[in-house]
Amino acid sequence: MPSDDPLPTNVPDATIPWKPATAPAVTAPSRTTQAFRRDRITWGCYFALALFAYFLNIQGNIIPFLRDEFALSYREVSLHPAALAAGLIVCGLFGERVVAWCGRRSALALGLIGACGGAVLLSLAHTAAASIAGCLLMGMPGGLVLVVVPAVLAERHGANRSIALGEANAGSYMASLTATVAMGLFTAIGLDWRYGLALGIELTAVAFARHAGDPIPAAQPHGESRAGRLPAAYWAYWATLFCVIALEYCILLWSPEVLERVQGLSRASAATMAAAFSVAMLTGRLFTASLIRRVSAERLLFASLALTLPGIALYIGAHQPALSVVGLVVLGLGTAPLYPLTLGFAIGVAGRHGEVASARASLASGVAILVMPMALGTLADGLGLRLACLMIPILAAVGALCFVAARRLEFRRL
């Protein structure tokens, strides 16, 4: 594969004349009047993130089939998402070193090939150990996509990075829903569940053919990227990221159970009604990029956090299933912008260390997905599901406090 091509990037605030050349520029994504342009590299990054999201989401959809085929226990079933999260954690810890070693283009290709390799292994698996290994391979090296894509988009679009990240995450959410629909359609017409994985592999091959020659801008040299540390403000944004990812997945994974056990719906109705959260999330992500052109990212993030409050109250506190579903819709709309906006702030404050910032953001995803839904389940065993769901407003409150702390730390550096 050809080497990376260091094309000029659109970072209008990369040089501040009255600051020393060694100080990284500190910018926060905000409302901007600059034109936002999607070039081939931008579209390629969108497709790469969407493809990874497809594989990430379809893994959850095939677990029931694996459980039936291999007669897996619940413990063995739980090891599949745990393996995928573990792969993301490893990429979060070491991903920037891999990128510095082989270059962004090769790292991105390695991530997508790794995700496809995990899908092949999962399709051919005849034991739980093999299927768990396939999930691990999806997360590592598949998680390299999460290391490269945000850094490239942030560099190319500068002050407009929140728009780019918002659109990229909207596309990835559409891909996640596509995976669910594809699995449903294939199984409904009598085809094997493995056709869902085959579709992802075919789409990846098409993306490679279309974007193989795109000159992805080179990352910083290995030594320079490790020369400085991420600022304290970044880690406060990282804590915010952890909270909003945990918030999203605690609702996503547990809402069917809440609607069934707390609100009294049948299992089929609960599973169907829980999709309201995903639909609202997709709607919110689609509108995030449009809203960021009119409202500053900071105000939009606070407004989104505020919107989650009535959603949480209805979702947890209502004693009527219809109101609880309305709460899920409000929660989805409020939660949708939180991840792309916070990620934009985090990468922006990292300055020249965008690769490291993206990798550590992947670490936040892996840890949050691995730990927090399981923690909610543990609390539910002891306190009951309704009381355990009080973890959700706590996550929202802690995330808001961490964001406020991050903003104060960032402004101190200016």
Q: Note the pLDDT tens digit of each residue in 5-31.
A: 444 433 333 323 323 333 344 444 445
Crossing angle of helices 338-349 and 354-383, rounded to 10°: 140
**Which of the listed ranges 78-87, 254-263, 312-321 does the model predict with the highest average pLDDT?**
312-321
CATH T-level assignment (fold) for domain 228-414: Growth Hormone; Chain: A; (1.20.1250)
**For position 2, what pLDDT does the model report?**
40
Contact 218, 103 (CB under 8 A): yes
236 — pLDDT class (breaks 50, 70, 90): very high
Element (DSSP H or E) covering residue 271:
helix 267-291
Q: How far apart, in whole angstroms, are the C-alpha atoms of residue 113 and residue 271?
A: 32
3-state SS, one letter per residue, for 105-162: HHHHHHHHHHHHHHHHHHHHCCCHHHHHHHHHHHHCCCCHHHHHHHHHHHHHHHHHHH
- pLDDT mean over 56-76: 79
CATH superfamily, region 39-161+171-210: MFS general substrate transporter like domains (1.20.1250.20)
- Residue 309 or 177, more confident: 309
Q: Which amino acid makes up residue 192? A: D
Contact 134, 29 (CB under 8 A): no
Q: How far apart, in whole angstroms, are the C-alpha atoms of residue 274 and residue 252?
A: 8
188 — pLDDT class (breaks 50, 70, 90): confident
- pLDDT mean over 145-164: 87
Q: Note the pLDDT tens digit of each residue in 358-371.
A: 889 989 988 998 88
> Could you state, in order of their start, the residue ranges of all structural domains in the chain?
39-161+171-210, 228-414
| pTM (predicted TM-score) | 0.78
Question: Does 376 have pLDDT greater than 50?
Answer: yes
- Residue 336 or 74, more confident: 336
Q: What stretches of 158-264 adopt beta strand conformation (E)?
A: none
